[in-house]
Amino acid sequence: MKLAARVGQVSPSLTLEIAAKAKAMKAQGIDVCSFSAGEPDFATPAHIVAAAQKALDEGKTRYGAAAGEPALREAIARKLKTDNGLDYTAENIIVTNGGKQSLFNLMLAAIEPGDEVIIPSPYWVSYPEMVTVAGGTSVIVPTTADTRYKITPPQLREAITPKTKLFVLNSPSNPTGIVYTPEEIRALAEVVVDADIWVVSDEIYEKLLYDGAQHLSIGAVNPEAFDRTLVSGGFAKAYSMTGWRLGYLAGPADVIKATIKIQSHATSHVCTFAQYGAIAALESPESAPCVEQMRQAFDKRRHVMFERINAIPGLSAPKPDGAFYLYINIADTGMKSMEFCNALLDEHHVAAIPGIAFGTDDCIRLSYATDMASIEKGIERLEKFVGSIG
Ligand SMILES: *Cc1c(COP(=O)(O)O)cnc(C)c1O
Protein backbone atom coordinates (compact mmCIF):
# COMPACT_ATOMS: atom_id res chain seq x y z
CA MET A 1 0.00 0.00 0.00
CA LYS A 2 1.17 3.51 -0.71
CA LEU A 3 0.88 5.15 2.69
CA ALA A 4 -0.41 8.65 3.29
CA ALA A 5 2.20 11.41 3.35
CA ARG A 6 1.36 12.24 6.96
CA VAL A 7 2.77 8.90 8.10
CA GLY A 8 6.19 9.96 6.89
CA GLN A 9 5.90 13.23 8.78
CA VAL A 10 5.18 11.57 12.12
CA SER A 11 7.82 9.78 14.20
CA PRO A 12 7.00 6.81 16.41
CA SER A 13 6.99 7.50 20.15
CA LEU A 14 10.64 7.12 21.26
CA THR A 15 9.58 6.78 24.88
CA LEU A 16 7.45 3.75 24.11
CA GLU A 17 10.22 2.31 21.93
CA ILE A 18 12.95 2.42 24.60
CA ALA A 19 10.53 1.12 27.23
CA ALA A 20 9.73 -1.80 24.91
CA LYS A 21 13.43 -2.58 24.38
CA ALA A 22 14.02 -2.53 28.15
CA LYS A 23 11.04 -4.82 28.64
CA ALA A 24 12.33 -7.26 26.02
CA MET A 25 15.74 -7.36 27.76
CA LYS A 26 14.00 -8.04 31.09
CA ALA A 27 12.06 -10.88 29.47
CA GLN A 28 15.42 -12.42 28.46
CA GLY A 29 16.34 -12.46 32.14
CA ILE A 30 18.58 -9.36 32.06
CA ASP A 31 18.45 -7.27 35.26
CA VAL A 32 17.42 -3.91 33.78
CA CYS A 33 16.96 -0.77 35.89
CA SER A 34 14.23 1.09 34.11
CA PHE A 35 13.92 4.85 34.41
CA SER A 36 12.09 5.12 31.12
CA ALA A 37 8.47 4.60 32.09
CA GLY A 38 6.22 7.61 32.33
CA GLU A 39 3.85 5.81 34.66
CA PRO A 40 3.49 5.32 38.41
CA ASP A 41 4.64 1.93 39.68
CA PHE A 42 1.72 1.65 42.14
CA ALA A 43 -1.46 -0.37 41.79
CA THR A 44 -4.68 1.58 41.15
CA PRO A 45 -6.24 2.29 44.60
CA ALA A 46 -8.61 -0.53 45.61
CA HIS A 47 -11.73 1.63 46.03
CA ILE A 48 -11.40 2.83 42.42
CA VAL A 49 -11.06 -0.74 41.16
CA ALA A 50 -14.07 -1.74 43.29
CA ALA A 51 -16.21 1.05 41.77
CA ALA A 52 -15.45 -0.17 38.24
CA GLN A 53 -16.12 -3.77 39.29
CA LYS A 54 -19.46 -2.75 40.73
CA ALA A 55 -20.37 -0.96 37.50
CA LEU A 56 -19.44 -4.10 35.60
CA ASP A 57 -21.62 -6.22 37.90
CA GLU A 58 -24.48 -3.78 37.41
CA GLY A 59 -24.29 -4.24 33.66
CA LYS A 60 -22.74 -0.88 32.76
CA THR A 61 -21.34 -2.56 29.68
CA ARG A 62 -23.33 -0.89 26.91
CA TYR A 63 -22.63 2.01 24.59
CA GLY A 64 -22.87 5.36 26.32
CA ALA A 65 -22.78 9.00 25.26
CA ALA A 66 -19.77 10.03 23.14
CA ALA A 67 -19.06 12.91 25.52
CA GLY A 68 -18.83 10.55 28.48
CA GLU A 69 -21.16 9.38 31.26
CA PRO A 70 -23.15 12.41 32.44
CA ALA A 71 -22.25 11.70 36.08
CA LEU A 72 -18.55 11.74 35.26
CA ARG A 73 -18.79 14.97 33.25
CA GLU A 74 -20.51 16.54 36.24
CA ALA A 75 -17.89 15.19 38.64
CA ILE A 76 -15.09 16.62 36.48
CA ALA A 77 -16.83 20.01 36.34
CA ARG A 78 -17.09 19.96 40.17
CA LYS A 79 -13.42 19.01 40.47
CA LEU A 80 -12.34 21.86 38.19
CA LYS A 81 -14.40 24.28 40.28
CA THR A 82 -13.16 23.03 43.66
CA ASP A 83 -9.51 22.33 42.85
CA ASN A 84 -8.82 24.88 40.15
CA GLY A 85 -11.36 27.70 40.50
CA LEU A 86 -12.66 27.12 36.96
CA ASP A 87 -16.35 27.65 36.34
CA TYR A 88 -17.49 24.86 34.04
CA THR A 89 -20.65 22.78 33.75
CA ALA A 90 -20.97 19.28 32.25
CA GLU A 91 -21.44 20.70 28.73
CA ASN A 92 -17.91 22.14 28.95
CA ILE A 93 -16.40 18.67 29.46
CA ILE A 94 -15.55 15.76 27.17
CA VAL A 95 -14.32 12.47 28.65
CA THR A 96 -11.54 11.01 26.50
CA ASN A 97 -9.31 7.95 26.19
CA GLY A 98 -6.55 9.49 28.27
CA GLY A 99 -5.10 12.96 28.29
CA LYS A 100 -3.57 11.95 24.98
CA GLN A 101 -6.88 11.72 23.14
CA SER A 102 -8.06 14.89 24.78
CA LEU A 103 -5.19 16.79 23.14
CA PHE A 104 -5.48 14.86 19.88
CA ASN A 105 -9.20 15.69 19.63
CA LEU A 106 -8.42 19.33 20.25
CA MET A 107 -5.75 19.51 17.55
CA LEU A 108 -8.13 17.92 15.03
CA ALA A 109 -10.95 20.26 16.02
CA ALA A 110 -8.91 23.47 16.13
CA ILE A 111 -5.89 23.27 13.85
CA GLU A 112 -5.78 23.47 10.07
CA PRO A 113 -3.04 24.03 7.50
CA GLY A 114 -1.46 27.43 8.05
CA ASP A 115 -2.14 27.49 11.78
CA GLU A 116 0.85 27.81 14.09
CA VAL A 117 1.03 26.15 17.49
CA ILE A 118 3.62 27.43 19.95
CA ILE A 119 5.33 24.65 21.90
CA PRO A 120 8.15 25.36 24.37
CA SER A 121 10.93 22.76 24.29
CA PRO A 122 11.71 20.47 25.98
CA TYR A 123 8.15 19.29 25.28
CA TRP A 124 6.08 16.17 25.79
CA VAL A 125 6.80 13.93 22.77
CA SER A 126 3.31 13.90 21.35
CA TYR A 127 2.54 17.64 21.06
CA PRO A 128 4.37 18.37 17.78
CA GLU A 129 3.32 15.06 16.28
CA MET A 130 -0.33 15.80 16.99
CA VAL A 131 0.01 19.22 15.39
CA THR A 132 1.56 17.56 12.33
CA VAL A 133 -1.25 15.02 12.03
CA ALA A 134 -3.75 17.89 12.20
CA GLY A 135 -1.87 19.63 9.36
CA GLY A 136 -0.63 22.56 11.44
CA THR A 137 2.85 23.94 12.04
CA SER A 138 4.66 23.64 15.36
CA VAL A 139 6.67 26.67 16.41
CA ILE A 140 9.20 25.32 18.88
CA VAL A 141 10.53 27.81 21.43
CA PRO A 142 13.71 26.46 23.06
CA THR A 143 14.16 27.00 26.79
CA THR A 144 17.21 26.24 28.92
CA ALA A 145 18.08 25.19 32.45
CA ASP A 146 18.87 28.88 33.18
CA THR A 147 15.13 29.63 33.29
CA ARG A 148 14.40 26.17 34.76
CA TYR A 149 13.15 25.23 31.30
CA LYS A 150 10.28 27.70 31.43
CA ILE A 151 9.21 29.87 28.53
CA THR A 152 9.37 33.55 29.50
CA PRO A 153 6.64 36.06 28.59
CA PRO A 154 9.00 37.92 26.17
CA GLN A 155 9.84 34.60 24.47
CA LEU A 156 6.15 33.82 24.07
CA ARG A 157 5.39 37.29 22.75
CA GLU A 158 8.20 37.03 20.23
CA ALA A 159 6.98 33.66 18.93
CA ILE A 160 3.46 34.94 18.23
CA THR A 161 2.62 35.76 14.61
CA PRO A 162 -0.70 36.51 12.89
CA LYS A 163 -0.90 32.76 12.22
CA THR A 164 -0.60 31.72 15.86
CA LYS A 165 -3.64 29.78 16.97
CA LEU A 166 -2.63 27.96 20.11
CA PHE A 167 0.00 27.93 22.85
CA VAL A 168 0.70 24.61 24.57
CA LEU A 169 1.49 24.99 28.27
CA ASN A 170 2.43 22.00 30.43
CA SER A 171 2.92 22.50 34.15
CA PRO A 172 4.05 20.47 36.04
CA SER A 173 6.13 19.48 33.05
CA ASN A 174 7.00 16.22 31.43
CA PRO A 175 9.99 15.87 30.83
CA THR A 176 11.52 18.46 33.18
CA GLY A 177 9.37 18.10 36.32
CA ILE A 178 9.30 21.89 36.57
CA VAL A 179 6.28 23.82 37.86
CA TYR A 180 5.51 27.40 36.78
CA THR A 181 4.83 29.67 39.75
CA PRO A 182 1.45 31.43 39.96
CA GLU A 183 3.19 34.74 39.10
CA GLU A 184 4.73 33.18 35.98
CA ILE A 185 1.34 31.78 34.95
CA ARG A 186 -0.25 35.23 35.39
CA ALA A 187 2.45 36.83 33.25
CA LEU A 188 1.95 34.26 30.47
CA ALA A 189 -1.84 34.75 30.67
CA GLU A 190 -1.33 38.45 30.04
CA VAL A 191 0.51 37.70 26.79
CA VAL A 192 -2.15 35.19 25.71
CA VAL A 193 -4.95 37.69 26.33
CA ASP A 194 -3.06 40.61 24.73
CA ALA A 195 -2.37 38.62 21.58
CA ASP A 196 -5.84 37.03 21.60
CA ILE A 197 -4.57 33.49 21.05
CA TRP A 198 -5.72 30.20 22.59
CA VAL A 199 -3.91 28.24 25.23
CA VAL A 200 -4.22 24.55 26.05
CA SER A 201 -3.05 23.81 29.55
CA ASP A 202 -1.94 20.22 30.07
CA GLU A 203 -2.40 19.75 33.81
CA ILE A 204 -2.13 15.99 34.07
CA TYR A 205 0.54 16.21 36.82
CA GLU A 206 -1.25 18.88 38.89
CA LYS A 207 -1.47 16.64 41.98
CA LEU A 208 2.22 15.78 42.01
CA LEU A 209 3.82 18.85 43.59
CA TYR A 210 6.79 19.10 45.97
CA ASP A 211 8.61 21.66 48.10
CA GLY A 212 5.42 23.70 48.49
CA ALA A 213 5.07 24.33 44.74
CA GLN A 214 1.64 25.70 43.81
CA HIS A 215 -0.36 24.86 40.73
CA LEU A 216 -2.36 27.66 39.13
CA SER A 217 -4.49 26.87 36.11
CA ILE A 218 -4.00 29.63 33.54
CA GLY A 219 -7.76 29.76 32.98
CA ALA A 220 -8.24 30.83 36.61
CA VAL A 221 -6.14 34.00 36.20
CA ASN A 222 -9.02 36.18 34.95
CA PRO A 223 -12.19 35.92 32.82
CA GLU A 224 -10.31 36.96 29.66
CA ALA A 225 -7.80 34.13 30.11
CA PHE A 226 -10.63 31.71 31.00
CA ASP A 227 -12.34 32.43 27.66
CA ARG A 228 -9.17 31.48 25.75
CA THR A 229 -8.23 28.38 27.77
CA LEU A 230 -8.69 24.66 27.27
CA VAL A 231 -7.74 22.42 30.15
CA SER A 232 -6.48 18.92 29.48
CA GLY A 233 -6.34 16.51 32.38
CA GLY A 234 -6.48 12.85 33.20
CA PHE A 235 -6.46 10.12 35.80
CA ALA A 236 -3.34 8.19 34.76
CA LYS A 237 -0.67 9.97 36.75
CA ALA A 238 -2.35 11.07 40.00
CA TYR A 239 -4.41 7.92 40.57
CA SER A 240 -2.08 5.41 38.95
CA MET A 241 -4.65 4.58 36.26
CA THR A 242 -2.48 4.60 33.12
CA GLY A 243 -4.08 1.53 31.55
CA TRP A 244 -7.63 2.69 32.17
CA ARG A 245 -7.33 5.30 29.43
CA LEU A 246 -9.22 8.12 31.11
CA GLY A 247 -8.79 11.82 30.51
CA TYR A 248 -10.77 14.91 29.75
CA LEU A 249 -10.77 18.25 27.98
CA ALA A 250 -12.58 21.27 29.40
CA GLY A 251 -13.28 24.55 27.63
CA PRO A 252 -15.86 26.68 25.85
CA ALA A 253 -18.95 24.64 24.94
CA ASP A 254 -18.62 25.16 21.17
CA VAL A 255 -15.05 23.84 21.14
CA ILE A 256 -15.98 20.87 23.33
CA LYS A 257 -18.95 20.14 21.06
CA ALA A 258 -16.59 20.03 18.08
CA THR A 259 -14.29 17.55 19.86
CA ILE A 260 -17.31 15.37 20.75
CA LYS A 261 -18.28 15.28 17.08
CA ILE A 262 -14.79 14.12 16.13
CA GLN A 263 -14.51 11.59 18.95
CA SER A 264 -17.94 10.14 18.12
CA HIS A 265 -16.50 8.95 14.78
CA ALA A 266 -13.24 7.65 16.26
CA THR A 267 -13.40 5.91 19.63
CA SER A 268 -17.03 6.84 20.47
CA HIS A 269 -16.29 7.04 24.19
CA VAL A 270 -14.21 5.67 27.04
CA CYS A 271 -15.03 2.12 28.22
CA THR A 272 -18.29 2.59 30.12
CA PHE A 273 -17.51 0.77 33.38
CA ALA A 274 -14.03 2.33 33.56
CA GLN A 275 -15.72 5.73 33.80
CA TYR A 276 -17.29 4.66 37.10
CA GLY A 277 -13.79 4.09 38.45
CA ALA A 278 -13.02 7.68 37.47
CA ILE A 279 -16.07 8.94 39.35
CA ALA A 280 -14.80 7.16 42.48
CA ALA A 281 -11.33 8.65 41.95
CA LEU A 282 -12.82 12.16 41.97
CA GLU A 283 -15.58 11.78 44.53
CA SER A 284 -14.50 9.20 47.12
CA PRO A 285 -12.98 10.52 50.35
CA GLU A 286 -10.62 7.55 50.15
CA SER A 287 -8.81 9.05 47.14
CA ALA A 288 -6.95 11.95 48.75
CA PRO A 289 -4.96 9.80 51.21
CA CYS A 290 -4.01 7.40 48.38
CA VAL A 291 -2.79 10.24 46.19
CA GLU A 292 -0.88 11.73 49.10
CA GLN A 293 0.79 8.43 49.91
CA MET A 294 2.03 8.08 46.34
CA ARG A 295 3.12 11.71 46.24
CA GLN A 296 5.20 11.24 49.37
CA ALA A 297 6.85 8.13 47.94
CA PHE A 298 7.73 10.06 44.76
CA ASP A 299 9.06 12.91 46.86
CA LYS A 300 11.51 10.65 48.74
CA ARG A 301 12.78 9.20 45.48
CA ARG A 302 13.05 12.67 43.98
CA HIS A 303 15.44 13.76 46.73
CA VAL A 304 17.64 10.69 46.34
CA MET A 305 17.78 10.91 42.56
CA PHE A 306 18.41 14.64 42.49
CA GLU A 307 21.25 14.51 45.04
CA ARG A 308 22.94 11.46 43.56
CA ILE A 309 22.75 12.58 39.93
CA ASN A 310 24.10 16.05 40.60
CA ALA A 311 27.00 14.48 42.52
CA ILE A 312 28.14 12.72 39.33
CA PRO A 313 30.78 14.81 37.52
CA GLY A 314 29.51 15.68 34.04
CA LEU A 315 25.80 15.48 34.87
CA SER A 316 23.53 18.27 36.07
CA ALA A 317 19.79 18.67 36.50
CA PRO A 318 17.58 21.38 37.98
CA LYS A 319 15.62 20.27 41.03
CA PRO A 320 12.13 19.30 39.86
CA ASP A 321 9.16 20.47 41.92
CA GLY A 322 6.47 18.41 40.20
CA ALA A 323 5.65 15.22 38.22
CA PHE A 324 8.16 12.35 38.54
CA TYR A 325 11.04 13.14 36.20
CA LEU A 326 14.57 14.45 36.41
CA TYR A 327 15.89 16.17 33.27
CA ILE A 328 19.63 15.78 33.09
CA ASN A 329 22.11 17.70 30.98
CA ILE A 330 24.75 15.33 29.55
CA ALA A 331 26.55 17.84 27.30
CA ASP A 332 29.79 17.49 29.31
CA THR A 333 30.02 13.81 28.37
CA GLY A 334 30.40 14.83 24.73
CA MET A 335 27.67 12.39 23.72
CA LYS A 336 24.35 12.97 22.04
CA SER A 337 21.28 11.70 23.81
CA MET A 338 20.47 8.70 21.60
CA GLU A 339 24.05 7.41 21.63
CA PHE A 340 24.18 7.93 25.39
CA CYS A 341 20.92 6.10 26.09
CA ASN A 342 21.68 3.19 23.77
CA ALA A 343 25.12 2.62 25.34
CA LEU A 344 23.65 2.98 28.83
CA LEU A 345 20.99 0.36 28.09
CA ASP A 346 23.14 -2.06 26.08
CA GLU A 347 26.25 -1.98 28.28
CA HIS A 348 24.94 -1.10 31.72
CA HIS A 349 21.31 -2.21 31.55
CA VAL A 350 19.82 1.12 32.54
CA ALA A 351 16.88 2.47 30.53
CA ALA A 352 16.57 6.26 30.13
CA ILE A 353 14.84 8.38 27.51
CA PRO A 354 16.99 10.40 25.10
CA GLY A 355 16.27 14.12 25.23
CA ILE A 356 16.00 14.26 21.45
CA ALA A 357 12.49 12.84 21.93
CA PHE A 358 11.65 16.04 23.79
CA GLY A 359 13.48 18.38 21.43
CA THR A 360 16.80 18.72 23.32
CA ASP A 361 19.63 16.43 22.25
CA ASP A 362 21.99 17.29 25.12
CA CYS A 363 19.72 15.89 27.82
CA ILE A 364 18.20 12.63 29.04
CA ARG A 365 15.09 12.02 31.10
CA LEU A 366 15.00 9.73 34.10
CA SER A 367 11.67 8.80 35.66
CA TYR A 368 11.68 8.14 39.38
CA ALA A 369 8.35 6.33 39.24
CA THR A 370 10.20 3.18 40.26
CA ASP A 371 11.22 1.59 43.55
CA MET A 372 14.06 2.98 45.66
CA ALA A 373 16.26 -0.12 45.33
CA SER A 374 16.20 0.18 41.52
CA ILE A 375 16.97 3.88 41.80
CA GLU A 376 20.04 3.20 43.98
CA LYS A 377 21.28 0.39 41.74
CA GLY A 378 20.57 2.22 38.49
CA ILE A 379 22.35 5.37 39.58
CA GLU A 380 25.44 3.36 40.56
CA ARG A 381 25.49 1.90 37.06
CA LEU A 382 24.95 5.31 35.50
CA GLU A 383 27.83 6.70 37.55
CA LYS A 384 30.10 3.89 36.37
CA PHE A 385 29.07 4.52 32.77
CA VAL A 386 29.69 8.27 32.91
CA GLY A 387 33.00 7.64 34.68
CA SER A 388 34.08 5.35 31.85
CA ILE A 389 33.40 7.96 29.17
CA GLY A 390 35.88 10.61 30.29
C1 LIG B 1 1.08 11.00 30.47
C2 LIG B 1 0.85 12.33 29.86
C3 LIG B 1 -0.36 12.65 29.19
C4 LIG B 1 -1.53 11.75 28.93
O5 LIG B 1 -1.46 10.50 29.35
P6 LIG B 1 -2.74 9.55 29.21
O7 LIG B 1 -2.20 8.24 29.63
O8 LIG B 1 -3.17 9.59 27.79
O9 LIG B 1 -3.79 10.09 30.11
C10 LIG B 1 -0.52 13.94 28.71
N11 LIG B 1 0.42 14.86 28.87
C12 LIG B 1 1.59 14.59 29.47
C13 LIG B 1 2.58 15.66 29.60
C14 LIG B 1 1.84 13.32 30.00
O15 LIG B 1 3.01 13.05 30.57
Per-residue pLDDT tens over the stretch 233-263:
999 999 999 999 999 999 999 999 999 999 9
Residue to mutate, 168, 202, 241, ligand 1, most ligand atoms under 8 Å from C-beta? 202
Confidence check: pLDDT of 13 > 80: no
115 part of a folded domain: yes
Question: Is the CB of 170 inside a 6 Å radius of any atom of ligand 1?
Answer: yes
CA distance 126 to 194: 28
Model pLDDT, residue 11: 83
Question: Among 283, 307, 334, which residue terminates a domain?
Answer: 283
CA distance 91 to 260: 10
Confidence check: pLDDT of 17 > 80: no
Looking at 17-21, 270-274, 375-379, which range is the least confident one? 17-21
Same domain for 251 and 310, yes or no, is no
Task: Give 337: exposed, middle or buried? Use CB within 10 Å, 0-12, 13-18, 19+.
Answer: buried
Per-residue pLDDT tens over the stretch 311-350:
999 999 999 999 999 999 999 999 999 999 999 999 999 9
Are 126 and 100 spatial neighbours (Cβ–Cβ below 8 Å)? yes
Q: Which domain holds residue 70?
A: 59-283
50 part of a folded domain: no
C-alpha of residue 103 to centroid of ligand 1, in Å: 9
CA distance 268 to 135: 23
Model pLDDT, residue 1: 94
Give the domain CATH number at 360: 3.90.1150.10
Same domain for 96 and 24, yes or no, is no
Question: Is the CB of 229 inside a 6 Å radius of any atom of ligand 1?
Answer: no
Question: What's the average model confidence in pLDDT over 41-59?
Answer: 98
Q: 372-389 and 337-348 helices cross at what angle (nearest 10)?
A: 110
- In which band, very low, low, confident or very high, does the pLDDT at 20 lie, cut at 50, 70 and 90? confident
Question: Among 224, 250, 283, which residue terminates a domain?
Answer: 283
Residue to mutate, 36, 94, 102, 124, ligand 1, most ligand atoms under 8 Å from C-beta? 124
Same domain for 232 and 312, yes or no, is no
The count of structural domains within the chain is 2
Confidence check: pLDDT of 14 > 80: no
Same domain for 14 and 64, yes or no, is no
197 part of a folded domain: yes
Q: If you average pLDDT over every residue of the chain, what do you get?
A: 96
92 part of a folded domain: yes
Per-residue pLDDT tens over the stretch 347-364:
999 999 999 999 999 999
CA distance 111 to 108: 6
Does this model's pTM top 0.95? My answer is yes
Same domain for 169 and 245, yes or no, is yes
DSSP bridge pairs for 351? 34
DSSP bridge pairs for 366? 326
Higher per-residue confidence, 20 vs 96:
96
Model pLDDT, residue 18: 80
C-alpha of residue 232 to centroid of ligand 1, in Å: 9
Cα 22–chain centre separation: 21
Which residues, including other chains, have CB under 8 Å from residue 334's CB and lie 6 or more apart?
Answer: 389
Per-residue pLDDT tens over the stretch 272-315:
999 999 999 999 999 999 999 999 999 999 999 999 999 999 99
Per-residue pLDDT tens over the stretch 167-189:
999 999 999 999 999 999 999 99
Are 287 and 295 spatial neighbours (Cβ–Cβ below 8 Å)? no
Confidence check: pLDDT of 16 > 90: no
Same domain for 85 and 211, yes or no, is yes
Same domain for 15 and 77, yes or no, is no
52 part of a folded domain: no
